[in-house]
Amino acid sequence: MNILTLPARNLVSQKLRSTLTIIGIAVAVGSFIALTGLTRGLQDSYAQGVGDVGGDYVASQRGTYSLVSSSISEDLVARLDTVAGVEEAAGIVLSITEVGDEANIFVTGWPEGSFLWRSLRLDQGTPPLGDRDVVLGKTVAEALGKTVGDEIEIQYEPYRITGISVPDSVFNQNVAVTKLKGLQTLLGRPASVSLVQIRLERPVDPQKAAAIKAALSAISPTIEVSDSAEFAENMDFVKTVDAITSAVSLIMILASSILVANTLLMSVSERGQEFGILAAIGWTPARIRMLVVVEGLMMCIIGSLIGVGLGIAGMHLVSWLRISAGLLEPFLSVGIVGEALFWVLLIGPLAALYPAWRVTRATPSAALRGIR
């Protein structure tokens, strides 16, 4: 009988109560991992996708909330193209559109003859030939059950699938690519683009590239020039989602700590005589309090381990749903798991401190008589 076996015995003896508390902790940890992983996956996917098409810099509207809300005039694109050291500035339109009634996917329009088309790796078929042709990324094509020659509806207009692409980035495997002019007409934005992909003249010298970036930024105060990683990090949309995700996750972990405290309070109130016996045989108040804290820590550890599995399963389940095809991708790292475990293993034992303090309020003799 020691400080580890006693808490374990009590958890087993109170199966229903302990199980419900552990489930609560597991749900909190799983939610933290799933929400954080999907948010980080979104950011990572954006960064990889933006940098996967051969551009060195991305120009977007300053303070843009998301990829699709940015708007830059084509006149400004032409001015960016004239900056010394720039091989080509290619304006693109990017939008999230509904495909039939099944899914929401990213659709992008690329200008004819731009360097962007050189990055298009086709598994089958050909690039778009007309304004109502489209190439689907392999992942989204599989999610929609479509292949070359099939039709899909984009913004309630029929598009013919001419090819299936296999880009390196997960993001671009979930994107539909079509011609810029046709997509601009479809979306009612004939003279503007969402972003500008900027390719520098080769070879690229870091010092020269920095000078070109400064020159590009000086073209207009309305734009922001960044590399793909900076662009993904600076989007207000990602920052907002990340903040909401963190707040919701921490609230759920705090709620699970209340479950731990409540379970331990009930356990302490029912085991007064047991604690009185321990005190009578020489256990110090500090050791008895540690007994309760260890019991709470055990529930947190067991719940956290189950929660990691739930979080991973939840991320993949959401990413496999047709309604989120191309929008959400799972992302798991040691940092995310460590962050979740840190908060639970910090807050859980803290929640056990009050029940632990309650244990030693009564004298051993009073506890043995069942007096509270």
Q: What is the pLDDT of residues 79-97, one digit of tens each?
A: 999 999 999 999 999 888 8
Which residue positions in the chain have pLDDT lower than 50? Answer: 371-372
What integer best gives the mean pLDDT of the chain? 81
Cα(3)–Cα(287) distance, integer angstroms = 8
Closest by Cα among 216, 245, 181, 200 to 62: 216
Residues in the chain: 372
Burial environment of residue 65 by CB neighbours within 10 A (0 to 12, 13 to 18, 19 or more): middle
pLDDT at 327: 57
pLDDT at 306: 93
Contact 86, 257 (CB under 8 A): no
State the DSSP H helix or E strand holding residue 244, giving kind and residue range, or none if neither.
helix 236-270
pLDDT at 347: 80
pLDDT digits (tens, 9 = 90+) for 348-364: 778 877 777 776 665 55
Cα→Cα distances 98→166, 187, 309, Å: 22, 12, 32
Contact 125, 58 (CB under 8 A): no
Q: For 269, how many CA atoms within 13 A lie in the half-sphere containing its CB?
A: 7
pLDDT at 200: 93
Q: For 207, how many CA atoms within 13 A lie in the half-sphere containing its CB?
A: 0
Cα(31)–Cα(195) distance, integer angstroms = 33
Burial environment of residue 15 by CB neighbours within 10 A (0 to 12, 13 to 18, 19 or more): exposed
Token representation of residue 301: 């550890």
Contact 60, 93 (CB under 8 A): no
pLDDT at 237: 61
Cα(176)–Cα(67) distance, integer angstroms = 15
CA-based torsion, 170, 173, 175, 180: positive or negative: positive
pLDDT at 361: 65
CA-based torsion, 320, 326, 327, 330: positive or negative: positive
| Helix 236-270, helix 334-351: angle, nearest 10 | 40
Cα(329)–Cα(112) distance, integer angstroms = 30
Strand, coil or helix: 36: helix
Contact 304, 26 (CB under 8 A): yes
pLDDT at 322: 55
pLDDT at 54: 79
